[in-house]
Amino acid sequence: MPLIRVSDLSLGYDSQIILKGLNFVVNAGDYLCIVGENGSGKSTLMKTLLHLTPPLGGKIEFSDGLSENEIGYLPQQTLVQRDFPASVKEIVLSGCQGKCGLRPFYNKAEKELAKKNMERMEIADLSNRCYRELSGGQQQRVLLARALCAAEKVLLLDEPVSGLDPVVTEKMYSLIKRLNEEQVTIIMISHDIAAAVRYATHILHIGDSIFFGTGEEYLKSKEGSLFLKKADEEEKKNG
Amino acid sequence: MDKLIMYLQHPLVLRALIVGVLIAFCSSLLGVTLVLKRFSFIGDGLSHVAFGGIAIASVCNLSNRMLIVLPVTVISAILLLRTGKSAKIKGDAAIAMISVAALAFGYLLMNLTSSSSNLSGDVCSTLFGSTSILTLTRWEVILCAVLSAATLLIFLLFYHKFFAVTFDEDFAKASGIKADRYNLLIAVIIAVIIVLAMNLVGSLLISALVIFPALSAMRLFRTFRSVTICSAVLSVTGALSGILLSILAGTPVGSTIVAVDAVLFGICFLAGKIRGIN
Ligand SMILES: Nc1ncnc2c1ncn2[C@@H]1O[C@H](COP(=O)(O)OP(=O)(O)OP(=O)(O)O)[C@@H](O)[C@H]1O
Ligand SMILES: [Mg+2]
């Protein structure tokens, strides 16, 4: 039984379907990249997997070993966060909330967990800094540490490298790769096809036509080659 | 100075000070959440609803207006939160509609039925707060203390939940927090605070009481906890000095407090600039 099995899923908002006929499976230890154009419904798919928006048809099945809040989530950034007064520590700790139930305070184990994950993401020295004063790359690592506090088994990452420079992007990718090697299942949205093919074990392309398979299969498929060509043209146009 | 000491020995003034401090304290607690969640407009809408509630209460000639105003405001808070979330009805428009309608009907009701010779005085004092804080009954002081204590307790118990839900609702939901429940709780507390604060500053100035301290604190501090504590301190300071000033200078209580809050904001703004935070 795979970790997550999605069959004939339709998604959208208020009964308006954005995408339908989605089929894929995620096994433990997989690294799945979701690619597709802006507005094709990648973030919506992620929210549907997280039960934030109800599916409009089809099924999402989780294996028995995986309960709902064993999934960590790194959202595409929202505006509210930008001027929010909060320290790195406060934010990372808030990832443990799901474990707290109704207990009003964090216990020792949760504080330890937060500390461990800050070290894992190499932000331990920033723990008392204000989130909004950090660089984009540091902010992403804070949110990643928070996601790790919420869950160890599966991480859903919505464009974790958007807006980062090439060096920091590489660093982010290798951090994520390292997590994957530590048996964390990764599901990541990305616009960076080259990196997706390099790091991911599987690729899901959504849009007018849907593709699901391994990275190599993707390069040979018509969705893959078309998308790559488009990306190439974009690059040439932009200089 | 002698005058001040003389006043302070007066039980009514003492009562007013206690109530003022309690209300200011509570209203500042959720100010940060309110500002950051872009809920401030709900606070504004609710204050108008509370005005309508007062009008109804005075028509019914109730001796205790809170009995009507409190439930009406709480229910409206829940309704506003619901409509604000549905994509079909524009949240802002709904709030504007409800609040303006409440204001209009409230004034109309007061006008039609008022037996008081000083109608505009009544309305004015409901809108801007009045000397009424100096004429609080024992019962009102007790109610105020109980509600404040409840607010503080809930806030302490759910502080981390409120933080999580305010900072990132989607993430909170994804990690298994019942975010809708906490949003509801926040809305109810806001409603209670607004009704309380109405005694202090009147319905038009409530938003200022809730929002100024939070905004000021955000100029100076950068963690959620320090901002919350600072805004509570600022709010209590503003209320205390506002009430004392108004007694000494004979100015209206509500607007004096808000004026002090505004001055405090100015100071914090400058201090923040100097420290180079914003
Ligand atoms: N809350 C919402 N209510 C209604 N429609 C929405 C909502 N959020 C997004 N949409 C619509 O759903 C479609 C897919 O949006 P989504 O955010 O999933 O795209 P995306 O693939 O993540 O794009 P991007 O690459 O820009 O992040 C878009 O057409 C968008 O307008
Ligand atoms: Mg997206």
* Model confidence pLDDT, tens digit, residues B87-122: 455 566 777 777 788 888 888 887 777 666 566 666
Higher-pLDDT residue of B87, B126: B126
Least confident of A74-83, A180-189, A217-226, B54-63: A74-83
Run of H or E residues at A6: strand A4-13
Q: Are B58 and B105 in contact (CB under 8 A)?
A: no
Q: Whose CA is nearest to atom 26 of ligand 1?
A: A38
Question: B235 falls in which pLDDT band (50, 70, 90)?
Answer: very high
Contacts of residue A132 in chain B, CB cutoff 8 Å?
222
Contacts of residue B226 in chain A, CB cutoff 8 Å?
85
Using a 10 angstrom Cβ sphere, with 0-12 exposed, 13-18 middle and 19 or more buried, the burial of residue A168 is: middle
**Residues A123 and A165 placed together within one structural domain of the fold:** no
Domain CATH for A21: 3.40.50.300
Residue B230 domain-assigned (yes or no): yes
pLDDT of amino acid A24: 93
Look at residue B278 and tell me whether its pLDDT is greater than 60.
Answer: no
Chain mean pLDDT for chain B: 81
DSSP A114-160: HHHHHHHTT-GGGTTSBGGGS-HHHHHHHHHHHHHHH-SSEEEEEST
Contacts of residue A50 in chain B, CB cutoff 8 Å?
170, 173-174
B170 alpha carbon, closest ligand: 1
Run of H or E residues at A43: helix A42-49
Look at residue A145 and tell me whether its pLDDT is greater than 60.
Answer: yes
What's the ipTM?
0.85
Q: Which atom of ligand 1 is nearest to the CA of A45?
A: 18
A41 lines ligand 1 (CB under 6 A): yes
Structure tokens at A103: 């207990």
A95 lines ligand 1 (CB under 6 A): no
**Residues A107 and A33 placed together within one structural domain of the fold:** no
Q: Which atom of ligand 1 is nearest to the CA of A53?
A: 1
Residue B278 domain-assigned (yes or no): no
Look at residue A185 and tell me whether its pLDDT is greater than 90.
Answer: yes
Last residue of a domain, one of A113, A131, A152: A152
Determine phi and psi for A11, rounding to 5 degrees. Answer: -135, 160
Q: Which residue has the tokens 């028995």?
A: A64
Query: For A102, what's the count of Cα atoms within 13 Å in the CB-facing half-sphere?
Result: 2
Question: A81 falls in which pLDDT band (50, 70, 90)?
Answer: low
**Residues A158 and A185 placed together within one structural domain of the fold:** yes
**Which of A90, A105, A147 lies nearest to residue B163, judging by beta carbons?**
A90
Residue A209 domain-assigned (yes or no): yes
pLDDT of amino acid B224: 92
Look at residue A213 and tell me whether its pLDDT is greater than 60.
Answer: yes
pLDDT of amino acid A45: 93
Structure tokens at A86: 């909060």
A16 lines ligand 1 (CB under 6 A): no
**Residues A54 and A168 placed together within one structural domain of the fold:** yes
Question: A196 falls in which pLDDT band (50, 70, 90)?
Answer: confident
Tell me whether residues B32 and A151 touch, CB distance under 8 A. Answer: no
Give the residue ranges of DSSP H helices in chain B.
Answer: 2-8, 11-29, 31-36, 40-59, 66-85, 91-113, 119-128, 138-167, 169-174, 179-201, 206-220, 224-249, 253-275
Q: Which residue has the tokens 């996601």?
A: A147
Structure tokens at B61: 């000639």
Number of domains chain A contains: 2
**Residues A53 and A162 placed together within one structural domain of the fold:** yes
For β-strands A31-35 and A154-158, DSSP reports them as unpaired
pLDDT of amino acid B40: 66
Q: Provide mean pLDDT across the span A157-183.
A: 89
**Residues A59 and A81 placed together within one structural domain of the fold:** no
A17 lines ligand 1 (CB under 6 A): no
Residue A159 domain-assigned (yes or no): yes
Q: Which residue of B has its CA nearest to A92?
A: B164
Query: Percentage of chain B with pLDDT > 70?
Result: 83
**Ligand 1 center to residue A43 CA distance, Å?**
7
Tell me whether residues B171 and A133 touch, CB distance under 8 A. Answer: no
Q: Provide mean pLDDT across the span B29-50.
A: 78
Number of domains chain B contains: 1
pLDDT of amino acid B153: 93
Residue A85 lies in domain: 76-152
Residue B31 lies in domain: 2-273
pLDDT of amino acid B38: 67
Domain CATH for B114: 1.10.3470.10
pLDDT of amino acid A70: 76
Structure tokens at B152: 């503080």
Q: Which residue(s) pair with A35 in the sheet?
A: A205
Q: What is the pLDDT of residues A224-235, one digit of tens each?
A: 777 777 777 766
Q: What is the pLDDT of residues B200-217, one digit of tens each?
A: 777 777 888 888 999 999
- A–B interface: beta-carbon pairs under 8 A: 99
Look at residue A48 and tell me whether its pLDDT is greater than 80.
Answer: yes
Tell me whether residues A84 and B167 touch, CB distance under 8 A. Answer: yes
Chain mean pLDDT for chain A: 86
**Residues A62 and A2 placed together within one structural domain of the fold:** yes
Q: Are A52 and A92 in contact (CB under 8 A)?
A: no
**Other Cβ atoms closer than 10 A to A172:** 20
Determine phi and psi for B20, rounding to 5 degrees. Answer: -60, -45
Cα gap B244→B12, rounded to integer Å: 13
Give me the count of residues in chain A: 239
**Residues A44 and A11 placed together within one structural domain of the fold:** yes
Question: A151 falls in which pLDDT band (50, 70, 90)?
Answer: confident
Structure tokens at B226: 């320090």
DSSP A8-58: EEEEEETTEEEEEEEEEEE-TT-EEEEE--TTSSHHHHHHHHTTSS--SEE
pLDDT of amino acid B5: 79
For β-strands A4-13 and A57-62, DSSP reports them as antiparallel
Q: Which residue(s) pair with A6 in the sheet?
A: A24, A60
Last residue of a domain, one of A152, A174, A193: A152
pLDDT of amino acid B238: 94
pLDDT of amino acid B263: 95
Residue A71 domain-assigned (yes or no): no
Last residue of a domain, one of A131, A152, A173: A152
Structure tokens at B51: 């005005």
A78 lines ligand 1 (CB under 6 A): no
**Residues A54 and A170 placed together within one structural domain of the fold:** yes
**Residues A80 and A22 placed together within one structural domain of the fold:** no
**Residues A141 and A130 placed together within one structural domain of the fold:** yes
Which of B36, B154, B162, B175 is the best residue to mutate to test the A interface, defined by the most A CB atoms within 10 Å of its own CB? B175
Determine phi and psi for A188, rounding to 5 degrees. Answer: -130, 140
pLDDT of amino acid B124: 65
pLDDT of amino acid A116: 92
Tell me whether residues A69 and B38 touch, CB distance under 8 A. Answer: no
What residues contact residue B22 under an 8 Å CB cut-off, 6+ apart?
B144, B145, B148, B196
Highest mean pLDDT among A58-62, A63-67, B38-42: A58-62
Contacts of residue B174 in chain A, CB cutoff 8 Å?
50-52, 69, 71, 73, 150, 156
A44 lines ligand 1 (CB under 6 A): yes
* SS3 of residue A47 by DSSP: helix
Q: Which residue of A has its CA nearest to B37?
A: A80
Residue B149 domain-assigned (yes or no): yes
pLDDT of amino acid B63: 66
Contacts of residue B164 in chain A, CB cutoff 8 Å?
94, 97
State which amino acid sits at residue B145.
A
Q: Which residue of B has its CA nearest to A146?
A: B171
